[in-house]
Amino acid sequence: MSRESTIAATLETRLQELKANETTIIREQIKVVDRPVYRNVCLDGDGVRIANAAKNGTSAAKPTDPVQDAE
């Protein structure tokens, strides 16, 4: 029994030494995602026409397509 106690004490001492040498390293990496949110052209021609019609309070009916009218 005393032999096991000696071995257990030696083991506990060695484990305490190993825990004292333990180091935790935490590294963070920053990831930047660049997405073009703002552009020079936000609306096409139809979008601008609809926005202007809404601003002026007029109807935003889509004009007829001249190609279809010619057929």
pLDDT in tens, 5-39: 999 999 999 988 888 777 788 888 888 877 766 66
Tell me what the mean pLDDT of segment 41-46 comes to. Answer: 75
- Residue 21 CA neighbour count, 13 Å, CB half: 6
Helices (H), the chain: 2-20, 45-56, 66-70
Q: Is 0.75 topped by the overall pTM?
A: no
Tell me what the mean pLDDT of segment 39-59 comes to. Answer: 80
Tell me what the mean pLDDT of segment 30-51 comes to. Answer: 76
Region of residue 57 (left: phi > 0; alpha: psi -120 to 50; beta: else): left
Instruction: Evaluate whether 7 touches 1 at the Cβ level (below 8 Å).
Output: no
Cα 30 → chain centroid: 11
Degrees to nearest 5, angle at CA 52 with 49 and 54? 110
Tell me what the mean pLDDT of segment 56-62 comes to. Answer: 73
Of all residues in the chain, the percent with pLDDT exceeding 90 is 14
